Amino acid sequence: MAISEAVRDEMRQIVALYPQSRSALLPMLHLVQSVEGDVSVDGINACAEVLGITSAEVTAVSTFYTMYKRQKVGKHHIGVCINTLCGLLGGDAVYAALAERLGTTHDSPSADSQFWLERIECQAACTHAPVMTVDWEFMDDVTPASAVDVIDRLANGEVVQSTRGPVIRDFSATERTLAFPNDGLADEGVSVDDKMLAGLRIAKERGMTAPGIPAAQPSQTEA
Ligand code: FES
C-alpha cells in the first residue's frame, strides 16, 4: 500500500527528534508496521526517501532485527518465552499448545491470519515465568490452558487485561507506541508486585547488603 503523505509527515516528525537523521530509522520502521502490518516495500522506500538513504540500507536494518516482519502479522502478535527459566517452568508446553491452537509455527501467521506466533527470548520477566506476550504486553505465569484461553478471548473480541500493563489493544497500536512512545499508558496496570520484591524483602529481613564497589585503580597512562 502506498505510504500516505500524512504518514510521511509523521516520519519527518520522528526524524526531527534526532541529531543524526538516520537514527530515526528504527521508530520509523515501527510506524511502517503500524500502518502496513509489516515492513512493506512501499514502507522501505518511504523511509529511504525521507532519510535520503538507499532502500538497500533500510532493508539491511529491517532484516537484521527480529521485531521487524516482512509478512503481515495480523491483529495480534503472540510471543512465548522459551529461554531457560520459562522453558523449564512450562514455556515449551505453552508454545506447543498455542502452535496447535493457532495452526502455525515459529515466526509465522496463524491459519486465519489474525495472530502471529513467535518463540521469544528472555523478556527480563523471569519472576513470573513462564511468560507470554500479547502485542508485547505481559501475560504472567501462564499455563497451556490459560494461554489458549487468552487466544480464544481475543478471537471472540473480548477485553483482555495484561497482567502487568494496559488492556490489550492490537499489534498496530503497539507498533505506533514504539514509534511515538508517549501513549499515556505508562502507568496502566501493576508495575511491581510482592513476588518481584521478594528478594529485596528477604535481604532486608536478614540485614544483607551488597559488597562495596572497589575503588578505581589508576590507569597505566595515569601512573
Ligand atoms: S526466561 Fe522467560 S522471561 Fe526470562
DSSP code of 194? T
Instruction: Provide the grid cell at 104.
Output: 502455525
| Residue 88, φ and ψ in degrees, nearest 5 | -65, -30
Q: Which residue among 80, 81, 128 has the greatest number of ligand 1 atoms within 8 angstroms of its CB, and so is best to mutate?
A: 81
Does position 223 have pLDDT exceeding 60, yes or no?
Answer: no
Ligand 1 pocket check for 86: Cβ under 6 Å: yes
So what's the pLDDT on residue 218? Answer: 74
Q: Quick one: which atom of ligand 1 is closest to the CA of 91?
A: 2
Half-sphere exposure of 182 (CA within 13 A, CB side): 1
Query: What three-state secondary structure class fits 75?
Result: coil
So what's the pLDDT on residue 93? Answer: 98
Of 50 and 218, more confident: 50
Q: How far is the CA of 166 from the centre of ligand 1 (A)?
A: 20
First vs last C-alpha separation in the chain: 63
Does position 1 have pLDDT exceeding 80, yes or no?
Answer: no
pLDDT tens-digit map of 84-135: 999 999 999 999 999 999 999 999 999 999 999 999 999 999 999 999 999 9
What is the distance between the alpha carbons of residues 17 and 9, in angstroms, rounded to a whole number?
Answer: 13
So what's the pLDDT on residue 219? Answer: 67
- DSSP percent split of the chain into helix, strand, coil, nearest 5: 45, 10, 45
Show the domains of the chain with their CATH numbers: 5-62 (1.10.10), 76-171 (3.40.30.10)
- pLDDT band, residue 220 (cuts 50/70/90): low
Would strands 137-139 and 108-109 be described as parallel, antiparallel, or unpaired? unpaired
DSSP code of 219? P
- pTM metric for this prediction: 0.90
pLDDT tens-digit map of 159-210: 999 998 999 999 999 999 999 998 999 889 888 899 999 999 999 999 999 8
